[in-house]
Structure 1
Amino acid sequence: MGAGLVVITGPASAARQSTAARINWAYTDASQPHTSFFRSEDDRAPVGKSVDTAGQEHEFRSYVTYDLTSYRGQRIISAGFTAGESAVVNCAKPAPVELWVTDPVSETTTWQNPPVERTRVGTVVMGGERECPDRYHQFDAVSAVRAAVEAGQNQITLGLRIADGAESSGELGRRLSLSALTVVSNTPPAVPTELATFGTPCAGPDDAPWYGGSPRLSARFDDAEGSQERLRPTFAWWPVADPAARQEVTQTAQPPGVIRHQVPSDPPLAEGLWAWAARSQDSDAVSDWSPTCYFNVDRHVPAAPVVTSDDYPADNTPHGGPGIVGTFRIDPAGSTDVVRYRWSLSGVGMAEVPAPSMGAGTTIQVAPVTYGTSILEVQSYDRAGNPSRTTLYEFRVRDTAPEVTVEEGGVDLPSRVTMRPGVAGVTEYRYRIGDGPEVTVLAAPDGTASTEVTFRALGATDLVVASYTAAGLVGTRTVSLRVTDAPRVTSDRQEGSYHLGLVGEPTVFTLSPGRPGVVRYEYQVDDSLPFESVPADGTGAATVTWTPTEAWYYRMVVRSVGTDGTVSEVRYLNLQVRDTRPYVSSFVYDPPDSPQGGVGVSSVFWLYSEPGGVTEFVVRLNGGAEITVPASNGNYAEIELAPDRVGANVLTVRARYGDGTLSPAREWTFLVAG
């Protein structure tokens, strides 16, 4: 290769720059042809002809050996050999200095026994019009170093000399300092590992997994030097029957790690055996291809399975009962590559069951949870994951489940469970709470039973009750509960989910504990006000009396506090408060706090009662005579009046009900303009 000045730049992101270790050096002198100067203490490299201070002529060549073992397996990007002038005979004379690859030097290296020159690396002209002495001359040695590394050599020896035809000139000699062999190299990324197809480890052609569509390929991509440089993964896939149809996709650079690639589904992959592989690339080098992995593509959909049952035949006749297990036979209907079945039943959930062998049928055992019509849905899946059409197996279930009611008492307090038979002849019930033990309760002669149970924890739980006759299980019912330790609250004005209060009339609430150890209750009717507290009595109960002053829909919040200071969950109560005093509005004198109209200026006044059953309204203006007005629709009337004074006027209104009683009076004050 030709020579010239080479600038060694900083390494690329994947490359590293290093200085090769110098392991041997030597020079030879024509004036002492049989003398070895191997590993001389003066490690400067003399070249060419010069005269020493004693007048003795010398003619030199120099050699240096570098260790290349650290570059094994690496790609050599650049290499520069640097030599600086420390002494020059005549700077005015240009000296062609050559760099050669030679055989190694040793203790036997002499002018008479020099190492063989193998390849001329290049020539650098020193002196002449160049700066002289120049401490930085560089040879481009990349081809020489790369060839040595690729040949597996552990070292390289470089020789320096004046070019043939000029070596004998007495004006070209100089001493060089051997600065460095600087190498920029890069280890190619590691071959991808941990290859998998949809998570299934890399497989050979004989045990290749099956897929019904386009698989997702994945592999681990790492840089061999352990750096965190981003890598560009390449995935390739091809049909084994047609390798020429190979496709490759190179993704954008990503951090090292497991990287996935979804094979495009458009166009769909042809059915049959496919192969794939991966390789990695950094900014300077490409890894070898990974081992080849295989997968099969099969898009053929299996037949819908056939479902039969002797316990619950599809004959439109009720059989069995809730909780009574039935056996169902599932047949693949001739599909020979079915490997699993998926089934679901309302109230029971969904499950999968493997085929005993590929293409074989199976049985499942499942108990319906409700009476009436049930539908068992079943699908077959082949080894490629292709699902069949869903088979709907419809059957009917007898109504045999017991009736169960629960009066829930809270946490760690008794709750009452009442059970009634769904069929005649029930002799006992067996119940369990969640995953707890089964408890047996004997039935009365009429088949009923009642027992106390204790729920030990807050939150959702299931109470499962099974009824038995002498012949065995006849039905099961599951009651889903949410157990709370919030206080139980009743009132003397409770109607369904509401407590109906009246303005000015007290409502008494009775608070009962939802857990042991309650010492007080905290309650709140208006969330803008702090909680109020009331102590519990010896039984853990308390009462709260509340008298509303305004009609409104309220939400009361009640909680309990235990001996250890813990607070229970809260109980919310809906309070609807009505005002039995009639409501008043006016066409002219509304709003009432703003002076309107005038003395003698009449207006229609509308009267309305929220409780119905009103026969008439009794009206008095400014304490005058009572006026009765018949009610319409049991709660409404109109009256026209004219105020008799400027400023505040008071209209007093009461409602008379069908039994003759009167409501409390509403005093409606309005202002009259002067």
Structure 2
Amino acid sequence: MTYGDSPPAVQVGWTDSATPKKAYPQDDDTNVPLRTWQDDSGKSHTSRVYATYDLSAYEGKKIYSANVFLQKRSVADCSKRAVEIWRTKPVTSTPTWNRPAAPLAKLGEILTPVQFCPGATITFDVGAAVQDAVAHRQRYITFEIRVPEQHESDASYSRGLHPYRGVQLSTQFNSMPQIDSAHLYNGGLPCTQLKPYPRIGGFARTLQAVGTDVDEYDQGSVTTEVAIWPKANPDARHVYSPWSKKCFFTHDRTAPTVTSSNYPADTTGEWGPAGVPGIFTFSGNRNKDVAGFEYSWSELGAHACSASGDYGQWE
């Protein structure tokens, strides 16, 4: 089963060519500028956006996909759109125009006109970049979002991103199942790599392992495979995963009869007398196998059973 997540942002902000030594971290009130514009004095400004995310929670997990979403709030010209996304060397604070994050690879671009203006959402597939960062145990990944160089000085391509939802990273992942090395057994004897090796055979030739999965909804569906090979010939490898022996049980679906003298079965849609204790009679209908009864206002439990051992074996 795959799970969706949004890793925490370490920094989201922008740079400004007119103030090349200053960084502008995102706040919750100001549109994130992805644009070129002129101030009241006629001075030209060009901004690029940077976003860094913490991937440490994905160590040991398999990334299936990842997307960066840009939520626009303002658009200069709905007939024009040109946006690029780059992966850069990771930075944990917003860079400046003079000291930008070093680019690593261009991940995508969109050059088509806006269909829903101005509030359209742009989606970039960054799955390969996130997979690479996780595979190389890089805690942070940084993206640069900019207008392509050939259009960057053209104010008609300017955009303003939402101050709170402007840049977001979403992932689809699954935790990798693990084998509990403390519970490996050969014929009931603990796993060992030291001589003398345990001799197994006859009825004591079972190989046992315990698999675990940290994902909540995958914990009950972990299956394992066992591979065996002669020590002197590792290439003669065989996967050992046969079905277990058959088990049989009888499911008794016969329910007891329940009657009441003052709370009869609700056949008329009316309830019994208010404030009067109910008297109920349980009958096993003379079935000699019936040893007792259990009742509840909701679900019934496993009567007189308890779990023991490390793995909850019922007794």
TM-score under structure 2 length normalisation: 0.68
Aligned with residue 176 of structure 2, among 188, 199, 206: 188
Q: CA, structure 1 residues 133+106, in 2 after alignment: closer, same or farther (shift >3 Å)? A: same
Q: 1: distance between equivalents of 2:100 and 2:78?
A: 28
How many residue pairs match? The answer is 239
Per-residue deviation, residues 334-383 of structure 1 (Å, max 9, x unmatched): xxxxxxxxxxxxxxxxxxxxxxxxxxxxxxxxxxxxxxxxxxxxxxxxxx
- Look up the match of 2:191: 202
Identity %: 29
Aligned with residue 111 of structure 2, among 125, 135, 141: 125
Q: 2: distance between equivalents of 1:134 and 1:46?
A: 15
- Look up the match of 1:219: 209
Q: CA, structure 1 residues 44+73, in 2 after alignment: closer, same or farther (shift >3 Å)? A: farther
Q: Which runs of 5+ in 1 are unaligned?
A: 1-12, 253-259, 262-674
Return the offset for 1:187.
1.5
Q: CA, structure 1 residues 186+251, in 2 after alignment: closer, same or farther (shift >3 Å)? A: farther
Q: 2: distance between equivalents of 1:248 and 1:107?
A: 50
Per-residue deviation, residues 82-124 of structure 1 (Å, max 9, x unmatched): 001111111112x221111123456683222222112212112
Aligned with residue 47 of structure 2, among 29, 38, 60: 60
Contact between 2:91 and 2:142, CA under 8 Å: does it hold in 1? yes
Counterpart AA for 2:37: S
- Look up the match of 2:304: none
Matched, 1:80 2:33: no
- Look up the match of 2:222: 231
Q: 1: distance between equivalents of 2:229 and 2:11?
A: 53
Alignment of 1:401-480 (within 5 A): none
Per-residue deviation, residues 565-621 of structure 1 (Å, max 9, x unmatched): xxxxxxxxxxxxxxxxxxxxxxxxxxxxxxxxxxxxxxxxxxxxxxxxxxxxxxxxx
Q: 2: distance between equivalents of 1:72 and 1:202?
A: 27
Return the offset for 1:51.
3.9
SS in 2 for 1:185: strand
Q: Which runs of 5+ in 2 are unaligned?
A: 246-315
- Look up the match of 1:46: 33
Q: 1: distance between equivalents of 2:242 and 2:63?
A: 26
Counterpart AA for 1:148: A
Contact between 2:226 and 2:239, CA under 8 Å: does it hold in 1? yes
Larger radius of gyration: 1
Contact between 2:51 and 2:143, CA under 8 Å: does it hold in 1? yes
Q: 2: distance between equivalents of 1:42 and 1:157?
A: 23
Q: CA, structure 1 residues 107+213, in 2 after alignment: closer, same or farther (shift >3 Å)? A: closer
Q: CA, structure 1 residues 210+103, in 2 after alignment: closer, same or farther (shift >3 Å)? A: closer
Alignment of 1:27-426 (within 5 A): 27-40=14-27, 42=29, 44-51=31-38, 56-93=43-80, 95-105=81-91, 109-125=95-111, 128=113, 130-177=115-162, 178-193=166-181, 194-204=183-193, 206-213=195-202, 215-225=205-215, 227-250=218-241
Q: 2: distance between equivalents of 1:112 and 1:203?
A: 59
Q: 1: distance between equivalents of 2:149 and 2:156?
A: 15
Q: 2: distance between equivalents of 1:251 and 1:232?
A: 12
TM-score under structure 1 length normalisation: 0.33
Q: 2: distance between equivalents of 1:112 and 1:217?
A: 62
Return the offset for 1:172.
0.5
Contact between 1:63 and 1:105, CA under 8 Å: does it hold in 2? no
Counterpart AA for 2:169: L
Q: 2: distance between equivalents of 1:220 and 1:180?
A: 38
Per-residue deviation, residues 539-573 of structure 1 (Å, max 9, x unmatched): xxxxxxxxxxxxxxxxxxxxxxxxxxxxxxxxxxx
Contact between 1:50 and 1:171, CA under 8 Å: does it hold in 2? no
Q: Which has the higher strand share?
A: 1
Q: 1: distance between equivalents of 2:158 and 2:175?
A: 41
Per-residue deviation, residues 277-299 of structure 1 (Å, max 9, x unmatched): xxxxxxxxxxxxxxxxxxxxxxx
SS in 1 for 2:128: helix
Return the offset for 1:208.
1.5
Contact between 2:50 and 2:94, CA under 8 Å: does it hold in 1? no
Q: 2: distance between equivalents of 1:176 and 1:120?
A: 20
SS in 2 for 1:244: coil
SS in 1 for 2:96: coil
Q: 2: distance between equivalents of 1:43 and 1:129?
A: 22
Return the offset for 1:54.
6.8
Return the offset for 1:165.
1.2
Bigger relative CO (Cα 8 Å, ≥ 6 apart): 2
Q: CA, structure 1 residues 131+39, in 2 after alignment: closer, same or farther (shift >3 Å)? A: closer
Counterpart AA for 2:77: N
Return the offset for 1:40.
4.8
Q: CA, structure 1 residues 154+44, in 2 after alignment: closer, same or farther (shift >3 Å)? A: farther
Q: 1: distance between equivalents of 2:75 and 2:221?
A: 49
Q: CA, structure 1 residues 148+179, in 2 after alignment: closer, same or farther (shift >3 Å)? A: same
Q: CA, structure 1 residues 251+148, in 2 after alignment: closer, same or farther (shift >3 Å)? A: farther
SS in 1 for 2:130: helix
Q: CA, structure 1 residues 52+187, in 2 after alignment: closer, same or farther (shift >3 Å)? A: same
- Look up the match of 1:16: 3
SS in 1 for 2:74: strand
Counterpart AA for 2:200: Y
